[in-house]
Amino acid sequence: MLALVGLSAGELAAQTQDAELIIRNGLVVTVEGRMEADVRIRGERITEIGPSLAASPDAREIDARGMILMPGAVDTHTHLNTAMPDPPQPFRNQDDYESGSAAAFAGGVTTVSNFIAIRLEEDVADYTRRVRGAIAQSAMADVFVHVNMGSDPAPFTLQRFEELVAQGFVSTGEDFMAREPFDRHSLGWYRAFRASGSAGVLSMMHAEDYPILTEARERLMAEGKGSIHNFAQSAPVVAEVVAVQRAVAIAEATGSPMYILHMSSGRALRVAEEAMARGLPVYVETRPMYLHLTAEVYQRPDAGLYLGGPPLRSKWDQEMLWAGIAKGTVHTIGTDHTGYSREAKLDPTQDLANTRLGLSNLQEYLPMLFSEGVNQGRITLEQFVAVTSTNAAKLFGFHPRKGEIRVGSEADIVVWDPTLTQTIRDEDQLSRAGYSTYAGWEVTGFPVTTIRRGEVVYDNGQILAESGSGQFIPGAGFETPRLRPMSVRD
């Protein structure tokens, strides 16, 4: 465990804005490479990186010898309540900004996202106040927000998108191709995507085809195969392939950037890669569960724990996604964390017409990716940093403020012990879900200290941040980012 020199837990939580912190002897990793160096932090920013930095008399120091220093992760796909419902709803998402932030910090994530709908009668100024107010009330992690557009795109004109971008909202929420209103309002969606692209907004697509999903599910139900053990068959790969083809066509026709959420299959990835090769603005997010689990788990008694849309796929799909991270055609990873309790996920009344989709996995996301990716030789440290932090910060318009360890950037830094081996346990999870999707897995590589904007917010298993210390992170309007091809890294 790290030695934090001259700093008690109470002092950690009360660091002043102009305090100096030096992290010594760590291996600093960026997408460009790695170097052994010290990192000087003054207030919220990184001010110097280099060997044997001289310390001021009042500097606090962390000895990170043998540790890796990486930028705090950016979770592109998080579902958190802005406030918990009253009275409690035990079968709904149990995580809010406070509990979600705690799970994030314990896992090395310093910036989370959230999906918040703008109401039909709500103007952008009121929406902005509502969003920022909730974050200021209880968030500890920093937060950027995707704007849910609902089922009818008609209110989303070019002017409305421009107003949103001016307030730092530069991405739509989950645009559900998997639901009937998308097809019913297809012309309206097309026009909205043209407008969003013109305004500098990144459109985020849940890419599954509604007719294919509906026919598959209804056919299985009619045949008496409505059990969740048949979940994979209810949402076949072809539904994702067709929807990604459609998203690519929209990008080509409008020039607007398309961000494919939680891509699950190798065939769909090939469609996206072909579009990228033609220079189209198509970007891919995958999800941790697709990298670690396959559809066989749906035959287990606890199949409900693994329900998420799209479903888990085959070993071949899994390896294709790992290869995509290594090649740089899978740009980001979003946990799609939803804090359902174990009881909610294992509700025996679920069938294919009534599923509770979403997994609790925010805290273990980075350790699992490191252990199964870096340690198994599937990806390099540089690729790990790119897909967990730097690419997201670039795509959502807040790089170089975040996403990289560099002079001038905010000091979001994870001190990582690459040799620490632990077994994931339900009782260690800080999410109010109270369980881990990966309980029982032996994992090597964990964060031991997490720093958010220069403040040590997690150390020695303790959360040290105060509720409400998180900030809203506005993005700049979308510009085609330079995402370094990762296949050239050693």
- pLDDT number for residue 358: 96
- pLDDT number for residue 17: 58
How open is the CA angle 98-103-105, to the nearest 5 degrees?
95
Is pLDDT at 6 greater than 70 in this prediction?
no
d(C-alpha 430, C-alpha 433), whole Å = 8
H or E element, residue 61 = strand 60-63
- What is the signed CA dihedral for 322, 324, 325, 329, rounded to 10 degrees? -170
- pLDDT number for residue 85: 86
DSSP string, 224-254: T--SGGGHHHHS-HHHHHHHHHHHHHHHHHH
DSSP string, 358-423: -B--TTTHHHHHIIIIITTTSS-HHHHHIIIIIHHHHHTT-TTTSSS--TTSB--EEEEEEEEEEE
- pLDDT number for residue 11: 46
Query: pLDDT tens digits, residue range 306-337?
Result: 999 999 999 999 999 999 999 999 999 999 99
Position 4 confidence tier, pLDDT thresholds 50, 70, 90: very low
Is pLDDT at 364 greater than 60 in this prediction?
yes
Contact 100, 78 (CB under 8 A): yes
Domain ranges of the chain: 73-407
Looking only at the bridges linking them, the beta strands covering 455-459 and 109-117 are unpaired
- pLDDT number for residue 485: 52
> For residue 305, what is the DSSP state?
G
- pLDDT number for residue 77: 98
Is pLDDT at 422 greater than 60 in this prediction?
yes
Position 480 confidence tier, pLDDT thresholds 50, 70, 90: confident
Contact 399, 484 (CB under 8 A): no
- The helix/strand/coil state of 197 is helix
d(C-alpha 465, C-alpha 12), whole Å = 9
Which homologous superfamily does the CATH classification assign to the domain defined by 73-407?
A: Metal-dependent hydrolases (3.20.20.140)
d(C-alpha 276, C-alpha 167), whole Å = 30
Residue 263 β-bridge partners: 286
**Phi and psi, residue 204, nearest 5°:** -105, 120
Average pLDDT over residues 212-235: 98
Give start and end residues of each alpha helix (H) in 158-203.
158-166, 180-184, 186-199
Q: What is the mean pLDDT of the chain?
A: 94
**Phi and psi, residue 59, nearest 5°:** -70, 145
Neighbours of 146 (CB within 10 A): 25
Distance of CA 485 to the CA centre of its chain: 20
DSSP string, 328-346: T-S-EE---B----HHHHT
Q: Give the closest residue to 38 by CA, choosing from 19, 23, 27, 56.
A: 23
Contact 81, 320 (CB under 8 A): no
Q: Give the closest residue to 367 by CA, choosing from 264, 448, 468, 485.
A: 448
pTM (global) more than 0.85:
yes
Looking only at the bridges linking them, the beta strands covering 45-50 and 33-42 are antiparallel
